Amino acid sequence: MMENSSRIFDEKGSELNLKALRERKGLTLEEVHRVTKISMVNLRAMEEGDFGRLPPPVYTRAYFRAYASLLEEDEKKLLAPYEAYLMGREKQEKELLLSIPQKKPLISQRAIILISLSVLLIIVLFFVVNRSYFKEPELVVPQLTKPEVTKSVLPAPAPAVKVEEKKGLEAEKKGNRLVIIAHEKTWLRIREDEGPPYEVLMKKGEKLERVAGRFVLDVGNAGGITVEFQGKVMSALGKPGEVVHLRLPE
* Percent of the chain residues topping a pLDDT of 90: 51
What is the per-residue pLDDT for 143? 60
Span 143-155, average pLDDT? 54
| Cα dist from 233 to 189, 215, 228, whole Å | 20, 16, 4
Give CA–CA dist 16/7, Å, rounded. 6
Give CA–CA dist 176/166, Å, rounded. 17
Q: What is the pLDDT of residues 62-93, one digit of tens each?
A: 999 999 999 999 999 999 999 999 999 999 99
To the question of domain 8-99 being in CATH 1.10.260.40, the answer is: yes
Task: Tell me the backbone φ, ψ of residue 119, rounded to 5 degrees.
Answer: -65, -40
Whether residue 148 has pLDDT greater than 70: no
Whether residue 45 has pLDDT greater than 60: yes
DSSP of 164-228, one letter per residue?
A: HHHHHHHHHHH-EEEEEEESS-EEEEEEETTSPPEEEEEPTT-EEEEEES-EEEEES-GGGEEEE
Whether residue 171 has pLDDT greater than 50: no
Please state the pTM of the whole predicted model: 0.38
- Band of the pLDDT at 241, cuts 50, 70, 90? confident
Whether residue 155 has pLDDT greater than 80: no
Least confident of 7-16, 62-71, 115-124, 224-233: 7-16
Give CA–CA dist 7/87, Å, rounded. 16
Give CA–CA dist 82/19, Å, rounded. 15
Whether residue 162 has pLDDT greater than 60: no
- Band of the pLDDT at 101, cuts 50, 70, 90? confident
What are the extents of the domains in the chain? 8-99, 168-248
CB 28 within 8 Å of CB 70: no
